[in-house]
Structure 1
């Protein structure tokens, strides 16, 4: 695999294309020789898909490429220290030499180099790249997530078992809570969004109410199970969620 400057420039935001030089391309192609074509392709895809990070700060291309490289190794299940060693072999060797008198390699890695790795992970651009690295799986699985959510909503509203209904309601409440960190910019198109939000709100209220009456003894399980819920369960197969990385 040989990456061209034209191909790389086509994969980053317009305002960042001037940062793509022939030297950058040569670095990418060298990765193929150092770590194999599979990693080089993995790195290239990450470099392009995470390029929205360049919009959020005044970062230079070298720092961005290093952050993506470190993140790429971590995504391949290497430990943090191993990822640092693979991404920055010269730095790693310098640190090993610097602390050679401290003990064996394992001790140096655990007690000395790990602190440098922790500091690097806290670097702003590394943190942003790490956040971006978590995006693809959630986007790719969004349709399946919505299907599962619809099923749980239906069970919570229609099951004859109060235990099953309660568990389904708890599941929906858990997975529809707003995430603490949401850095990705998505265009989300939901048909009938008002109806869905109203149904979700009512479901939360109903689940809490039913749990309360069962625990207090106001109603028996049979009475709860036989309650008629005057809501029409609509088919939400027309929900369309689409996300695009910049």
Structure 2
């Protein structure tokens, strides 16, 4: 009862979890998004509940500038997915003695390329959809892994999940869902797809492989290591291919 504020950052908070926080603890939640290079964003205490649950905040300084761009560096329409770039009073202008890296990390007019894929909410807040490297390019169609994860995690059998790209000779990449099941639960690929179809997901976004796993690998700072998962599914596909031709 003495808890007045709960700030959450480091990774996007699942909306279902955010709602549980508000229901079980009360109106104490603040979502925070930022980076060591500068930009800091938060939701505000007077934001509507939907905004606090669904978004990761807006810049804290009036001096912060940002754009959301496509892979051709054109600004996208509000609500569309794109990479967030930013500059402002406390965002770095460049990395020390790293001119080659700076040429790719910054735009010619000084905006820092965050590598984060976002959408602009009608409130002016950001919805963080993941890293640019987490986008799955299925035959030219871009799939946000985090969008799919946020649907899979609502399945009652699922404890945790991560969606990664797996290489494909025809489509380039396809989506593979790694799932940790709750104790005693079961789930197969067909059941997962039916569940996601009930969520009205576009068919091209459906995972095309399910890998059940006891625990997801994590990095030294406790984040899910998608690099390890991508390497794992690549290795499994190579082994399957070797058996077919051998």
> TM-score band (shorter)?
under 0.3
Larger gyration radius, structure 1 or structure 2: 1
More helix by percentage: 1
More strand by percentage: 2
Query: Greater relative contact order: 1 or 2 (C-alpha under 8 angstroms, separation 6 or more)?
Result: 1
